[in-house]
Amino acid sequence: MLKQFLSKLPRKASKLDTDESTRVNSLRSDSPAGKNLRPHGDNNSNTAKRTSLSAVFPSSTVAGIEPLLPFKDVPNGERMNLFVSKLSLCCVIFDFSDPGKSIVEKDVKRRTLVELVDFVANGNMRFSEPATLAMCRMCAVNLFRVFPPNYGSNRGGGENDDDEPTFDPAWAHLQLVYELLLKFISSPCLDAKVAKKYIDHWFILRLLELFDAEDPREKDCLKTILHRLYGKFMVHRPFIRKSINNIFYRFVFETEKHNGVAELLEISGSIISGFALPLKEEHKMFLWRVLIPLHKPKSMGVYFQQLTYCVTQFIEKEPKLASTVIMGLLKYWPITNSQKEVMFLSELEEILEAINMVEFQKVMDPLFWRIGYCMNSLHFQVAERALFLWNNDHIVNLIAHNRQVILPIIYPALDRNSQSHWNQAVLNLTHNIRKMFMEMDEKLYLSCHSHFKEEEAISNAAVEKRKEAWKQLEHVASLKPVIGNTAVLVSPI
């Protein structure tokens, strides 16, 4: 039985079985031979094939692949060797740009991957170090690839929102490799102390690079795998956080193009929810230097929900950060982008729901100046969203306690809306808010009204005086003869 099994194993796999200890020592990531863990595409001798729809795969061709024995036909003592051999077989890469090419071989690899997934999911054997190495190498060969230049285009925040994402034609194999990697990492049979030698910083960085894929199915798989990695390998947690931050920095301050910002923020949200109190300075820096600047890119709409969740998580953990976040929003407030302005107002409402009185009083002056401008916006959705803040009981309570400061700031905006805004819904909301303030403090409301009328009269008088001065200047200029190149005021037609 053993002879029959060994005769069907590939030559390279048999070499691994006969000299396991030598291979393990020579293929560690910190040794020169550790390059064997890298995909073939990193070799200068193996040129990558680039297609318009698929990512670039490491080139590797084999005339034919013979399927190996099923695990049930092999004694328990030999199953781990067979596991390594099957992983080696799956290191062969196929060209999926031509559906009619290597059909039999592709199916053999697919069935082998399915068998490996079942073995890892149902197995109770502890994974040896050669098996862990073989798994990491197989995943590197199949998954780590370079995307064509036009592949990582950012589709968010504008006219391309309705574009269909590009789906990778090699997904039939990629999905199984991702599923196998996920079950392998989640398996209780995997020793994290052994695995961290091969699931190292290089491996994690290459995984993070794949978040720029356009295929949403691939990003969902990567998101789940990175969650598991963060949970299982505590030693890698600081590095994972730092590497994600670097992707955000590059996106915000350099390229503004990345297809995986929403997924990375979703992972960050889970990480933030696990932060211990009091928050470390490193974690607060993530809020100040990453999350708040992420409000700047035009494509914020793509990841708005995930970004808002991350920000509110910080405020729930440490309410003192609310004033810092609001000042950051005011700093990056979109003056000319109405769509983003509506999103900012939505996020602002969520923050104000969690803010306490002390932090609110620190920012209420600049905050309500900005809200007043939004209330007067000619874009009815912006004005409507700003006025909707008064539908929130907690916000109304904050305003009521500080009405002596807030009403004088926003009364001019309310009056202008009631006099000249074109949208009926905005007019109705404005009327309701004026009525609310009147019932809240009639004396203050009438005082603000009279003060506003005085200011308006002074402003109108200044405008008239300025017009009269220009008229006099034009009259004096018209009486003087034109000589040479003297500038002349031309009356409008």
The predicted model gives 252-260 an average pLDDT of 91
Q: 327-377, pLDDT tens digit by residue?
A: 999 999 998 999 999 999 999 999 999 999 999 999 999 999 999 999 999
Write down the mean pLDDT value for the chain. 83
Residue 152: pLDDT band by 50, 70, 90 thresholds?
very low
Residue 483: pLDDT band by 50, 70, 90 thresholds?
low
Residue 8: pLDDT band by 50, 70, 90 thresholds?
very low
pTM higher than 0.75? yes
Round to whole Å and give the CA distance between 300 and 261. Answer: 10
The predicted model gives 263-285 an average pLDDT of 94
CA-CA distances (angstroms) from residue 123 to 10, 71, 75, 177, 187?
A: 23, 10, 13, 17, 9
Establish whether the linkage from the previous residue to 165 is cis, with ω within 30° of 0. Answer: no
Q: Is the pLDDT of residue 169 over 90?
A: no
Burial class of residue 170 in the structure, from the number of CB atoms within 10 Å of its CB (0-12 exposed, 13-18 middle, 19+ buried): buried
Structure tokens at 228: 């598991």
Residue 488: pLDDT band by 50, 70, 90 thresholds?
low
Structure tokens at 454: 């005085």
Residue 307, CB-side half-sphere exposure with 13 Å CA sphere: 26
pLDDT at 69: 81
Q: Per DSSP, what are the bridge partners of residue 49? A: 57
Q: 91-113, pLDDT tens digit by residue?
A: 988 888 887 788 888 888 999 99
Comparing CA positions, the residue from 167, 234, 159 lying closest to residue 195 is 234
Q: Is the pLDDT of residue 455 over 70?
A: yes
Comparing CA positions, the residue from 175, 151, 171, 359 lying closest to residue 257 is 151
